[in-house]
Amino acid sequence: MPQTRLSLQQQITSNIKFTYVSALNDPNTTVIRVEWAFSQQWPAVASRDENGIFSIKFFYKKQFR
């Protein structure tokens, strides 16, 4: 079933972005996500999904030319 969602995103600093997503018909299904770029190669994403599960993921980015 399709849901209407409200998404808010704020660039807190040049390397931190906050995202909030909530379903309008069920406010208990909220997703919170924080992206933090330590450097261009090393970002991290912390999130809490609609089931309340919290996770932190670290990434390594490499560009090949």
- pLDDT tens digit sequence for 40-56: 899 999 999 888 899 99
Q: Domains of the chain: which residue ranges? A: 5-58
Indicate yes or no: pTM above 0.85.
no
- Quote the Cα angle for 41-56-1, to 5°: 115
- pLDDT tens digit sequence for 4-32: 889 999 999 999 999 999 988 887 789 99
Residue 46: the pLDDT is 96
Residue 4: the pLDDT is 85
Residues 6+ apart with CB under 8 A from 46: 33, 34, 36, 54, 55, 56, 57
